[in-house]
A and B are shown apart, each in its own frame.
Chain A
Amino acid sequence: MTIDQTGSPPTAGHQFPAGSDAFPHRHLLGIAGLQPWEILFLLKEAEQWVDLNRQSSKHVDRLDGLTVINAFFENSTRTLLSFEIAGKRMGADVVNMHAAQSSVKKGETLIDTAVTLNAMRADAIVIRHASSGAVQLIADKVDCPVLNAGDGSHEHPTQGLLDALTIQRRKGDISGLTITICGDVMHSRVARSNIYCLTTLGAKVRVCAPTSLLPAALDRMNVEAFSNFEQALDDADVVMMLRLQNERMNGDFIPSPREFHHLYGLTRERLALAKPDALVMHPGPMNRGVEISSDIADDLDRSAITEQVEMGVAVRMACLDVLTRRSRGVEGWS
Chain B
Amino acid sequence: MKKTFINAQVLVPEAKAPQPANVAIDGDRIVQIGGDKPSADHETVDCAGALLAPGIIDLGVFAIDKPAFHYGGVTRAALMPDQAPVLDLPAMIKHNASEGKPDLWSHPLAAATKALKGTELAEIGLMKKAGARAVATGRSWIADSGIMLKLLHYCRSLDMPVIVHSEDSGLTAGAVATAGETATRLGLSGAPASAEALSIARDIGLVRESGAHIHFRQVTTMQGLELIRAAKSEGLPVTCGITPAHLFLSDIAISEFRTFAKLSPPLRSEEDRQACLKAINDGTIDVISSGHDPRGPEDKRLPFAEAEFGMAGAETLLALSLNLVRDGLVGMPRLFELLSATPAKILGVDAGQITQGYEADLILIDPEAPWQVDTRKMAAAAGNTPFDKLPVQGRVRAIYKGGKAL
Contacts and interface: CB of A to CB of B under 8 A. Distances in A.
A218 B187 contact: no
Interface in B282-302: 297-298, 301-302
A132 B181 contact: no
Interface in A149-164: 151-155
Interface in A281-315: none
A109 B302 contact: yes
A85 interface: no
A3 interface: no
A329 B393 CA distance: 48
Nearest to B179: A216
Interface stretch (A16-24, A47-55, A133-141, A240-248): A133-141
B186 A133 contact: yes
Interface of chain B, main secondary structure:
helix
B225 to A, nearest CB: 21
Interface stretch (B152-160, B303-311, B353-361): B303-311
B14 interface: no
Interface in A55-83: none
Task: Give the bracket for the number of chain A residues in contact with chain B.
Answer: 20 to 34
Given A216-B179, A216-B190, A133 B184 contact: no
B248 interface: no
Contacts of B18: none
Contacts of B304: 131-133
B187 A155 contact: yes
A1 interface: no
28 contacts: A32-B185, A109-B301, A109-B302, A110-B302, A111-B297, A111-B301, A129-B303, A131-B305, A132-B187, A133-B186, A133-B257, A133-B305, A136-B257, A137-B303, A152-B305, A154-B188, A155-B187, A189-B187, A215-B179, A215-B183, A215-B190, A216-B183, A216-B184, A216-B192, A217-B181, A217-B184, A220-B181, A221-B181
Given A109-B301, A136-B256, A217-B179, 13 more contacts: A109-B298, A111-B297, A134-B303, A137-B301, A151-B187, A153-B189, A154-B187, A189-B187, A215-B179, A216-B192, A217-B181, A217-B184, A220-B181
Interface of B: 179-181, 183-190, 192, 256-257, 297-298, 301-306
Interface of A: 32, 109-111, 129, 131-134, 136-137, 151-155, 189, 192, 215-218, 220-221
Closest 4 CB pairs of A and B: A133-B257, A154-B187, A153-B187, A131-B303
